[in-house]
Amino acid sequence: MNQNPNAEADINALLAELWQRHLPSTRERLEILNRACQAALVNGLEETERAEAQSVAHKLSGNLGMFGYPYAGSIAGKIEEVLKVPAPEKLPQLEPLVQQLHEALKDKL
């Protein structure tokens, strides 16, 4: 079997290009989480906001892991878990997790 010695470099370059193309949607998803976090702090989340933020966190969890950011992906997974069930007592966990996610991605955005 003849393996391409540059295959890993080619894959990394492709992933970097895909990351750049996904940056606008990633930033938009982070903004949705920011808004949900602020709403949770001020007056709680409406069901539509909670469902949208949960969906966004789910997408981020998968995408971030795929792009080589497993720590950020695991934080997004924790955010998804907090948002999975409408439980007001869990909402205080949201702000520190969203802050951790931003911190994990600060040099990548």
Q: Centre a 10 Å sphere on the Cβ of residue 73 and count the other Cβ atoms it contains.
A: 19
Give residue 3's pLDDT band: very low, low, confident or very high (50, 70, 90).
low
Give the pLDDT confidence of 58-78 residue by residue, as tens digits: 999 999 998 889 999 999 999
Mean pLDDT of 91-107: 95
Distances (CA, A) of 98 to 9, 81, 95: 32, 13, 5
* Burial readout 75-105 (b: 16 or more C-beta within 10 A, e: otherwise): bbbbbbbbbeeeeeeebebbeebbebbeebb
The residues spanned by each domain of the chain are 10-23+31-105
Rounding to the nearest 10 degrees, give the CA dihedral for residues 87, 40, 77, 98: -150
Average pLDDT for residues 30-40, to the nearest whole number?
95
pTM of the entire predicted model: 0.88
Confidence tier at 11 by pLDDT (50, 70, 90): confident
